[in-house]
Amino acid sequence: MLTKEQITEWLKQLQDAICNALEQADDKGGIAGTGRFKEDSWERQEGGGGRTRVIEHGNILEKGGVNFSAVHGVVPLFLKEDTAGSGTETFYATGVSIVLHPKSPMVPIIHMNVRYFEMSNGTWWFGGGIDLTPHYVNKDDARFFHTALKTACDKHAPNYYPDFKKWADDYFFITHRNETRGIGGIFFDKLDKSTGKSKEELFAFLQSVGNAFAPTYTALMLKNKDLPYTDKHKQWQLMRRGRYVEFNLVYDKGTKFGLETNGRIESILMSLPETAGWFYNHVPAVNSEEEKTLAYLKKGINWI
Amino acid sequence: MLTKEQITEWLKQLQDAICNALEQADDKGGIAGTGRFKEDSWERQEGGGGRTRVIEHGNILEKGGVNFSAVHGVVPLFLKEDTAGSGTETFYATGVSIVLHPKSPMVPIIHMNVRYFEMSNGTWWFGGGIDLTPHYVNKDDARFFHTALKTACDKHAPNYYPDFKKWADDYFFITHRNETRGIGGIFFDKLDKSTGKSKEELFAFLQSVGNAFAPTYTALMLKNKDLPYTDKHKQWQLMRRGRYVEFNLVYDKGTKFGLETNGRIESILMSLPETAGWFYNHVPAVNSEEEKTLAYLKKGINWI
């Protein structure tokens, strides 16, 4: 029987493996040793804690975090309805959360979250997702990224990729802008026994998603790191980062959960870029790369 | 009997007067004519519209908006409970909203909102507020600012300044950071006949608040515009602007109302600075100006 301790241990190892892979890739962008994760261990007053690992001013990665946490306690009030709780049960939540903001506007922003949740009443589920936010959409990169996710999904069930790709389109959506955050990816939540899969089977799927992250993103880092760019591209990057900030602060459920459960603020908001910008009523020039990118920020595009 | 048309007309004139005063003050910071408001008139599909006026790259003002709007329609669902509506009534809401982000970190950010709301069932109220967000708190400026607000309030009722100052401390509060947005000011909402004042008396108070804005803020612009600053101060400004973004996107009710009523996004989000920044776990040096400023971001300080 798969225990929460086993899942927790695997998530810690995933954090280690991903940090190592990212540091090695970042070394290839300039002087080796420039980009190194720094760890802050923290404890949550109400129970549990985490290992926040942040990288700043690497060769390729400007700012990012690869965070592990495992928190527990009494189920917060605002979750009660969701979890059909009776009011006295406790919860245990563990996961790895990643957001990486590269220096170059030619390298995409990426996000991944893989998590496990259980309650003392026997309820448990897995959730997570990966999505890519290129400052400039490149169709080859988009196909490569989505193919990697499809491959990870298809090992477990034929409906996972199409279903979770649609879920990502709907979730990573900035309603007030009527645009997607980026080119999407996969998103899934509350995968439990009602799916017809065992806990072991669902965990195996979560592992496939987590293990797909490092090879996929480091390939995109290395492929794009030397592309030339100008101040115009940097300004556009600031605007796209501004949209990223809007999504995370207005819509993101993980951020909301963190803020409302007295999470560690600096760990939660490591997802925000070092700089972001807002330029009033900016409209890209006709047929520009910026306009082409905006046209791709729609739901339902088949990238493969 | 005071009508919504009269209130609306006064708000339009207030927008004009404030834009003129700000342009004249900005001219004194360099080349005259550099900072000029540009107007975008817009219409709301569900009823009404507005005049958005944005200034960018002035001598003193880097980015800001002085927006007038007057919208009407069926009362939105999420307001129903608040307004004890029966489901068929219509609303009319008009106001002026201002946020100004100066170029220099030595000049404070300012916000003002004055608004009037009425419903077809006869309900009406006034609301608004002004608050100041210095990147570096200067006690003399804080006293000057709060004294100007107290003077405007005291003409109408002795409890207005203390009550609305406390309300501002509670409203302009970034809960997840456990800090106020700045040095506060005044905030008030739903001032109606239950206050014991007539509509005319409450409108006269709103006018005093609105009229206090331009002389108070232009004085702070001109007093501080030539103070020297370095890259260190600019970096701190980016961080304080980051907190401003966090407040506006996570807590601000005006922003929330705008996003949920299909408001004009570029007008609502003109409150966001041109650039903002997030630096992981930044802690100011002991006894630095930055540390002193943080110590002032608390509720309940008597600035006068």
Quick one: closest CA in B to A65, which residue?
B280
The rounded percent of chain B whose pLDDT value lies above 90 is: 89
pLDDT tens figures, A99-111:
999 999 999 999 9
Question: According to the model, what pLDDT value does residue B84 have?
Answer: 53
φ, ψ of residue B193 in degrees (nearest 5): -65, -20
Which domains does chain B possess?
4-296 (3.40.1500.10)
SS3 state of residue B95:
strand
Instruction: Name the band, by pLDDT with cuts 50, 70 and 90, for residue A89.
Output: confident
- Residue B234 pLDDT more than 80? yes
**Of B162, B165, B188, B204, nearest to B2 (Cα)?**
B204
Question: According to the model, what pLDDT value does residue A263 have?
Answer: 78
**Cβ-defined contact of B275 to A275 (cutoff 8 Å):** yes
**Of A172, A282, A268, nearest to B250 (Cα)?**
A268
SS3 state of residue B297:
coil
**Cβ-defined contact of A280 to B270 (cutoff 8 Å):** yes
Q: Does B246 touch chain A (CB under 8 A)?
A: yes
Question: According to the model, what pLDDT value does residue B263 have?
Answer: 78
Question: According to the model, what pLDDT value does residue B44 have?
Answer: 87
* Minimal C-alpha gap between B106 and chain A (Å): 20
- Residue A281 pLDDT more than 80? yes
pLDDT tens figures, B105-159:
999 999 999 999 999 999 999 999 999 999 999 999 999 999 999 999 999 999 9
Question: According to the model, what pLDDT value does residue B77 have?
Answer: 65
With beta carbons under 8 A apart, name residues in chain B contacting A63.
278, 280
Rounded to two decimals, the ipTM of the complex is 0.94
Mean pLDDT score across all residues of chain A: 95
Question: According to the model, what pLDDT value does residue B267 have?
Answer: 93
Q: Is residue B67 within a helix (H) or strand (E), and if so which, with residue range? A: strand B61-74
pLDDT tens figures, B160-176:
999 999 999 999 999 99
**Cβ-defined contact of B275 to A238 (cutoff 8 Å):** yes
- Residue A88 pLDDT more than 80? no
- Residue A302 pLDDT more than 60? yes
Residue partners of A229: CB distance under 8 A and separation at least 6: A104, A105, A106
User: Which residues is A148 bridged to in the sheet?
Assistant: none
pLDDT tens figures, A217-227:
999 999 999 99
Q: Does A281 touch chain B (CB under 8 A)?
A: yes
φ, ψ of residue A18 in degrees (nearest 5): -70, -40
Three-state secondary structure readout of chain A:
CCCHHHHHHHHHHHHHHHHHHHHHHHHCCCCCCCCCCEEEEEECCCCEEEEEEEEECCCCEEEEEEEEEEEEEECCHHHHHHHCCCCCCEEEEEEEEEEEEECCCCCCEEEEEEEEEEECCCCEEEEEEEEEECCCCCHHHHHHHHHHHHHHHHCCCCCHHHHHHHHHHHHCEEHHHCEECCCCEEEEEEECHHHCCCHHHHHHHHHHHHHHHHHHHHHHHHHHCCCCCCHHHHHHHHHHHHHHHHHHHHCCHHHHHHHHCCCCHHHHHHHCCCEEECCCCCCCCCCCHHHHHHHHCCCCCCCC
Cβ–Cβ under 8 Å, residues A227 and A237: no
Written as six digits, the tokens of B56 are 């960018």
Written as six digits, the tokens of A16 are 């280690």
User: Which residues is A58 bridged to in the sheet?
Assistant: none
pLDDT tens figures, A235-272:
999 999 999 999 999 999 989 888 887 778 999 999 99
- Integer Cα distance of A147 and A152 in angstroms: 9
- Residue A90 pLDDT more than 70? yes
Instruction: Name the band, by pLDDT with cuts 50, 70 and 90, for residue B259.
Output: confident
- Integer Cα distance of A259 and A99 in angstroms: 17
With beta carbons under 8 A apart, name residues in chain A contacting B276.
245, 275-277
Q: Does A275 touch chain B (CB under 8 A)?
A: yes
Instruction: Name the band, by pLDDT with cuts 50, 70 and 90, for residue A98.
Output: very high
Written as six digits, the tokens of A182 are 């980026």
Question: According to the model, what pLDDT value does residue A75 have?
Answer: 79
Cβ–Cβ under 8 Å, residues A287 and B284: no
Nearest to A249 among B238, B250, B273 (CB): B250
**Cβ-defined contact of B278 to A281 (cutoff 8 Å):** no
- State the best of B67, B241, B280 to mutate against chain A, taking most chain A CBs within 10 Å: B280
**Cβ-defined contact of A276 to B279 (cutoff 8 Å):** no
pLDDT tens figures, A142-174:
999 999 999 999 999 999 999 999 999 999 999
- Integer Cα distance of A73 and A260 in angstroms: 14
- Integer Cα distance of B48 and B62 in angstroms: 29
- Residue B208 pLDDT more than 90? yes
With beta carbons under 8 A apart, name residues in chain A contacting B275.
238, 275-277
Mean pLDDT score across all residues of chain B: 95
Which entry of A101, A111, A146, A156 is annotated as an active-site residue? A111
pLDDT tens figures, A45-87:
888 999 999 999 999 999 999 999 999 988 776 666 555 555 6
Question: According to the model, what pLDDT value does residue A257 have?
Answer: 82
- Residue B83 pLDDT more than 70? no
Question: According to the model, what pLDDT value does residue A260 have?
Answer: 80
Residue partners of B45: CB distance under 8 A and separation at least 6: B262
Number of A to B CB contacts under 8 A, please give it. 70
- State the best of B244, B269, B278, B282 to mutate against chain A, taking most chain A CBs within 10 Å: B278
Question: According to the model, what pLDDT value does residue A37 have?
Answer: 98
Mean pLDDT computed over B56-63: 98
* Minimal C-alpha gap between A51 and chain B (Å): 14
With beta carbons under 8 A apart, name residues in chain B contacting A276.
245, 275-278
Written as six digits, the tokens of A254 are 């993980």
**Cβ-defined contact of A275 to B65 (cutoff 8 Å):** no
Written as six digits, the tokens of A27 are 């070394």
- Residue B81 pLDDT more than 80? no
